[in-house]
Amino acid sequence: MKIAIVCYPTFGGSGVVATELGIALSQHGHEVHFVTYKQPVRLELLSKQIHFHEVSVPDYPLFHYQPYELALSSKLVDTVKLHNIDLLHVHYAIPHAYAGYMAKKMLEEEGIHLPMVTTLHGTDITLVGNHEFYKPAVTFSINKSDVVTSVSESLKDDTNRLFKVEKDIKVVPNFIDMAKHNPSYTDCQRELMAEPDERIITHVSNLRKVKRVTDVIEVFDRIQKKIPAKLLMVGEGPEKETCEKLCVEKGIENNVVFLGNSSEVDKILCFSDLFLLPSEKESFGLAALEAMASGVPVISSNTGGLPEVNKNGVSGYLSDVGNVAEMADNALSILSSEETLAAFKKQARETARSFDTKKIVPLYETVYEEAVSMK
Ligand code: GMT
């Protein structure tokens, strides 16, 4: 099949999922065309099976806001015609599903049928899409998609609760390449980050309010009072400065390393002992799954789709949002002995196996077949 994928090319979870999906589909013999404003960060290789088409939006002084949807839908029309695309898969409803539907209608005028699959990722539904300014357009684009998928049961329920959805939403969970996340890397340079007796605690996110990154610092502060530990904060975002100040206030700035964005998260996870994800909302928690696949147990909140990924008492522990004391106690219990930590590491990786790329990508292929046959 020739598939066009629209996504955000940045470090966000939806872009990562779309990119990894495109790569996996190309390995299954499909021809994949990414259509977005920049080459996706995790897309290092372009080949005969993987193409990238850049959407450019000319900067014209009349426009206070540059019309990206317009440029995207035009680029989609051109790409579909030039490469005989069979199917369009848009990730993140705003504005991708909307632009995709416009492209579909324009192509229809020329007698070309373009089936469209929309994957909902989380904030497009629970945070941004739910805003009154966007709601009618998001509802419309969901209902006009041929097939709609969501990354968790929880997100499916949220979508049905918040929007008047006429479609049956199919749940296709996010996935992970277990082979790529190998906890026994030989080039794992733990000594660069911590002393031999220190535990390494890691957090990866876009450091936005929804991630409750100050809770990460609070939990870590409680941990480091009991055992020697370092905290690695991976990612960039608006809450970074607040976190840095909080570390100084608590006098733990020398134990917290802000690493910025990284496209080699797997290499950081391979020397991590514990992962913290205390988010306010999380439709799935891809970062938690990446940690688990690397054999890193997860201390998370029990919000949204997180209980579908992180299994309480097995791959880590779940607590109510904001319960930093319980999160710290749970973290300390996992880190209390080499035996307990080793058991949780093993269990985390085993739990991640049910989300292996090999199991999940065929589910998308089934969805595509259904969309194509819907004419
Ligand atoms: O919150 C993020 O990390 C970014 C955001 C995105 O759309 O890029 O992530 C959402 O999609 C991810 C991939 O499906 C999910 O794993 C995240 O849970 C979800 N974020 C939220 O729901 C807050």
d(CA 66, ligand 1 centre) in Å: 25
Q: 2-175+356-372: which CATH topology?
A: Rossmann fold (3.40.50)
Tell me the CB-side half-sphere exposure of residue 142, using CA atoms within 13 A. Answer: 30
Q: Which atom of ligand 1 is nearest to the CA of 119?
A: 14
Q: Each residue of 186-215: b (16+ CB within 10 Å) or e?
A: eebeeeebbeeebbbbbbbbbbbebbbbbb
d(CA 16, ligand 1 centre) in Å: 10
Q: Is 121 in the pocket of ligand 1 (CB under 6 A)?
A: yes
Range with top average pLDDT, 35-44, 57-66, 163-172: 163-172
Q: Is 123 in the pocket of ligand 1 (CB under 6 A)?
A: yes
d(CA 301, ligand 1 centre) in Å: 15
d(CA 285, ligand 1 centre) in Å: 7
Domain ranges of the chain: 2-175+356-372, 190-355
Q: Are 127 and 210 in contact (CB under 8 A)?
A: yes
Residue 183 has pLDDT above 70, yes or no: no
Q: Do 2-175+356-372 and 190-355 show the same overall fold?
A: yes
The model's pLDDT over 50-62, given as tens digits with 9 standing for 90+, comes to 999 999 998 888 9
Under the banding of pLDDT at 50, 70 and 90, the label for residue 21 is very high
Tell me the CB-side half-sphere exposure of residue 216, using CA atoms within 13 A. Answer: 33
- CA dist 253 and 231 (Å) reads 10
| Radius of gyration for the chain, computed over Cα atoms and rounded to the nearest angstrom | 21
Q: CA 163 → CA 120, 173, 232, distances in Å?
A: 13, 21, 38
Tell me the CB-side half-sphere exposure of residue 71, using CA atoms within 13 A. Answer: 14
Per-residue confidence (pLDDT) for residue 186, from 0 to 100 = 60
Q: Is 151 in the pocket of ligand 1 (CB under 6 A)?
A: yes
- CA dist 282 and 218 (Å) reads 19
Q: Which atom of ligand 1 is nearest to the CA of 279?
A: 23
d(CA 251, ligand 1 centre) in Å: 31
d(CA 187, ligand 1 centre) in Å: 29
Residue 203 has pLDDT above 90, yes or no: yes
Q: Is 288 in the pocket of ligand 1 (CB under 6 A)?
A: no
Under the banding of pLDDT at 50, 70 and 90, the label for residue 263 is confident
- Retrieve residue 42's tokens: 């995790």
Cis omega (within 30 of 0) for bond into 196: no
- Provide the percentage of residues in the chain whose pLDDT is more than 90: 83
- CA dist 102 and 88 (Å) reads 12
The kind and range of the H/E element at 50 are strand 50-54
Ligand 1 mutation target, pool 14, 92, 118, 176, most atoms within 8 A of CB:
14
d(CA 253, ligand 1 centre) in Å: 28
Per-residue confidence (pLDDT) for residue 187, from 0 to 100 = 65
Section 274-279 average pLDDT? 98
- CA dist 149 and 161 (Å) reads 15
Ligand 1 mutation target, pool 158, 159, 282, most atoms within 8 A of CB:
282
Query: Domain 190-355 belongs to what architecture?
Result: 3-Layer(aba) Sandwich (3.40)
Specify the amino acid at residue 19.
Answer: T
Q: Are 100 and 90 in contact (CB under 8 A)?
A: yes
**Average pLDDT score over the chain:** 94
